[in-house]
Structure 1
Amino acid sequence: MAKKIKAIVTLQITAGKANPAPPIGPALAQHGINLMAFCKEYNARTANRMGEIIPAEITIFSDGSFKFNLKSPPTTYLIKKAAGITKGAANPATEKVGKLTRKQLEDIAMQKKEDMNSLDIEGSIRMIAGTARQMGIEVEL
């Protein structure tokens, strides 16, 4: 018989730096899972991507066990990294804080292809370009 799912929690955690302190501790402890076991497993699985923000979708079962799937980093994180900026523009309509080339957009789309709601890579590139424009980044298509 399959285990009964108690909750599904999605968290964005820096790779290799999960610990039971907030925000991870309170979000998971309320569901009764072993925080140290989760932190050790997450850190082990993300050790090769140290420093990146890696979302985890954690499925918690009624017996206190859990499993989790790692997702690709958030699009905004990848855009900021590619553009070499720390944050987007306060007023993206008039202020431009960086620039992305078609090649950079393609690289981001390839990283995000499994998590994107798009049938082809071209659609993913257009979605990422739109996100970049909303952050005040100039886009070359």
Structure 2
Amino acid sequence: MKGGAKKTVVAKIKLQIPAGKANPSPPVGPALGQRGLNIMEFCKQFNDRTKDMEVGMPIPVVIEAYADKTFTFITKTPPTSYLVKKKAGVASGSKTPGREFAGKITMPQIEEIAKMKMADMGVDSLEAAISQVIGTAASAGIKVEA
């Protein structure tokens, strides 16, 4: 934004893309293509920004498309449910949460996830973030151990 001129945002596009694996196929291509954005440039920038993350980890991204066909984007932390299942060592949650457990997770692991997710959660205390992570674990059928 040279000279203090403000660009006009014409769209906010929210996607979830595996780290290091952005490519022109759906969902990226169609979402950016319909706005006339440079798909390959986005893929290159996204893959470069996520190159130090675990390949394939789902990364939420918010892309702001401008009237001049340029864009900016921010990456967020992986979804809480993904992190909880990863720490619990399970591929998917329980089919009947509350009655059957798919795995277990410890409080220190919950706290670690909460600290990582706090910025994206919109909470102002670690306790509130921990509470949200515990709720996510419970709804996935992951038992929380003290």
Is TM (by shorter chain) over 0.5?
A: yes
User: Which position in structure 2 is the counterpart of 1:74?
Assistant: 79
- In structure 2, which of residues 52, 66, 80 is the aligned counterpart of residue 61 of structure 1? 66
- In structure 1, which of residues 95, 100, 106 is the aligned counterpart of residue 100 of structure 2? 95
* 1:39 counterpart = 2:43: yes
Any stretches of 5+ residues in structure 1 without a counterpart?
none
2:52 alignment partner, SS class: helix
* 1:19 counterpart = 2:10: no
Q: 1:127-138 counterparts in 2 under 5 A?
A: 127-138=132-143
Cα RMSD between the aligned structures?
Answer: 0.9
Instruction: Tell me by how many angstroms 1:121 deviates.
Output: 0.5
* Overall identity of the aligned pairs, in %: 47
Instruction: Tell me by how many angstroms 1:93 deviates.
Output: 2.2
1:93 alignment partner, SS class: coil
- In structure 1, which of residues 108, 111, 115 is the aligned counterpart of residue 113 of structure 2? 108
Number of residue-to-residue matches in the alignment = 141
Any stretches of 5+ residues in structure 2 without a counterpart?
none
Instruction: Tell me by how many angstroms 1:25 deviates.
Output: 0.8
C-alpha distance after superposition, 1:38-71 (max 9, x if no partner):
0000000100002211111100001100000010
TM-score (norm 2): 0.93
